[in-house]
Amino acid sequence: MQRTAVNPWDWSQKLGYNQAEIIEGATRQLICAGQTAVDGKGLPQHPGDMRAQISLALDNLEAVLAGADMTLRNVIRLGIYVTDVDEALKHFEVLGVRFGPFQAAPPMTLLGVDRLAIPGLLFEIEATAAM
């Protein structure tokens, strides 16, 4: 799979994502459900701690990707839902730390929502991956 970034402006790159990517040569695609800060039994973890919830949601996303023999390198699109946009942005470097080693900056959308499906959850991330 070959990825070509499309960035008519550079501001999004400074925030860690591309405006768009051309994906060529992909043969498999994985559509991931939203991943949150829950344990293996689906119970919410880290109440009130946005940073810890982001980290655990990314752990859970990586587990789903691994189940399909993929990594964060294969992520081509992210949708992120948060209950507090300002608080999430304070901790957004966590995404950069996780995606950076893969030199991946997938296009993303960040949306503020009133609440997530399970009370107490602050952050949810869904992904599309390809290889």
Residue located via tokens 């790159």: 13
Name beta bridge partners: 30: 129
Delimit the domains of the chain by residue range: 28-130
* Residues 81-124: tens digit of each pLDDT: 999 999 999 999 999 999 999 999 999 999 999 999 999 999 99
Report pLDDT for 2. Answer: 92
Residue 119 to residue 64: CA distance in whole angstroms: 23
Question: With a threshold of 0.85, does the pTM exceed it?
Answer: yes
129 φ, ψ (degrees, to nearest 5)? -125, 155
* Residues 14-69: tens digit of each pLDDT: 888 999 999 999 899 999 999 999 999 999 999 999 999 999 999 999 999 999 99
Residue 124 per-residue DSSP state: E
Distances, alpha carbon 73 to alpha carbons 38, 70, 95, 112, in Å: 23, 8, 13, 26
CATH domain 28-130 topology: 60s Ribosomal Protein L30; Chain: A; (3.30.1330)
